[in-house]
């Protein structure tokens, strides 16, 4: 494994996508709590910012990761960035093959895969000019195991996991690290349909920033992620079937 370490949070200039709520908001709060010099909070509509985000004092930036123009403008506005957290995500709540909306999977891929790719392409020159930098990609347990009944989301996160590895291989020579976070069930709006214990988003952010600073390639951020990887390694077929059953029950519960 590479010995390249990531950027220390204290004094860093951090960009967070999908910063209005959930894990994105937690990254903003945690980066500031750990002494980041600046945090740029990327949101799709700067006129529709949550009170929690406003209270952080972060610099709000218009940033829809599906927009080439927004991403280019953000790279120019945040030209002193040293850390980029690719957190913005979309779970359309549809199946993949038996989809009610055949375009849902394309929308998920646009946000969850092409969004981080746009950001990395746009911000790699920014971090290179700084002499060092770190990308953090917020992924999911669904990235490491085919997850039926959230198939578009799962495939897009799996693609983003490979993106992280390839980007790291290309960018390490510029002093840029890339850390992929495998996240389990977290207490956010996106996971409202999932039953059982859910992690505090701030704990995910805290763990993710620590993994970035250590230069880890991937990090299982919580108990569900750790246990999922272990079960997958022991018996992949049984794990995938169990995961499909769990997600099917969740689908029935929400009526989708």
Q: What pLDDT does residue 237 have?
A: 82
Q: What is residue 195's three-state secondary structure?
A: coil
Which residues are within 8 A (CB) of 147 and not within 5 positions of it... i.e. 6 or more apart? 141, 153, 154, 243, 244, 247
Residues identified as active-site: 153, 157
Rg of the chain taking only CA atoms, in angstroms? 17
Judge whether 82 and 132 are in contact, CB under 8 Å. Answer: yes
19 pLDDT more than 60 = yes
Predicted TM-score (pTM) of this structure: 0.90
Q: Looking at residues 229-245, what average pLDDT do you find?
A: 79
Q: What is the DSSP string of 34-85?
A: TT-SEEEEEES-TTS--HHHHHHT-EEEE--TT-HHHHHHHHHHTTT--EEE
Mean pLDDT of 234-247: 74
Q: How many CB atoms lie within 10 A of CB 203?
A: 15
The predicted-structure confidence for 139-179, as pLDDT tens digits, reads as follows 999 999 888 878 899 999 999 999 999 999 999 999 999 99
pLDDT of 69 > 80? The answer is yes
Q: How many residues does the chain have?
A: 256
Domains and CATH numbers, the chain: 13-254 (3.40.50.720)
Instruction: Compute the average pLDDT of residues 31-58.
Output: 97
Residue 10, helix vs strand vs coil: coil
Question: Which stretches of the chain are DSSP H helices?
Answer: 22-33, 51-56, 68-77, 104-109, 115-130, 151-171, 201-214, 223-234, 236-254
| pLDDT reported for residue 148 | 80
CA angle 189, 121, 74 (to 5 degrees): 65
pLDDT at 28: 98
Q: Are 60 and 38 in contact (CB under 8 A)?
A: no
In the 8-state DSSP scheme, what is residue 111? Answer: I
């Amino acid at each position: 494994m590479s010995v390249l370490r990531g950027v220390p949070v204290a004094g860093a200039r951090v960009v967070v996508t999908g910063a209005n709520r959930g894990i994105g908001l937690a990254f903003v709060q945690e980066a500031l709590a750990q002494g980041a010099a600046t945090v740029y909070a990327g949101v799709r509509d700067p006129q529709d910012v949550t009170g929690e985000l406003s209270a952080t004092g972060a610099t709000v930036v218009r940033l829809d990761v599906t927009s080439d123009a927004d991403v280019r403008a953000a790279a120019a506005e945040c030209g002193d960035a040293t850390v980029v957290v690719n957190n913005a995500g979309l779970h359309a709540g549809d199946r993949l093959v038996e989809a009610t909306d055949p375009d849902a999977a394309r929308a998920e891929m646009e946000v969850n895969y092409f969004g981080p790719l746009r950001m990395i392409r746009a911000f790699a020159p920014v971090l290179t000019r700084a002499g060092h930098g770190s990308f953090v990609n917020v992924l999911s347990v669904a990235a490491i195991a085919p997850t039926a009944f959230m198939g578009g989301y799962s495939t897009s996160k799996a693609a983003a996991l490979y993106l992280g590895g390839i980007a790291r291989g290309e960018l390490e020579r510029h002093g840029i690290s890339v850390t992929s976070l495998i996240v389990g069930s977290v207490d956010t709006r996106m996971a409202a349909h999932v039953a059982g214990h859910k992690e505090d988003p701030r704990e995910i952010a805290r763990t993710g920033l620590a993994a970035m600073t250590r230069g880890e390639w991937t990090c299982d951020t919580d108990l569900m992620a750790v246990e999922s990887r272990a079960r997958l390694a022991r018996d992949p077929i049984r794990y995938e079937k169990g995961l499909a059953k769990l997600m099917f029950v969740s689908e029935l519960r929400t009526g989708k």
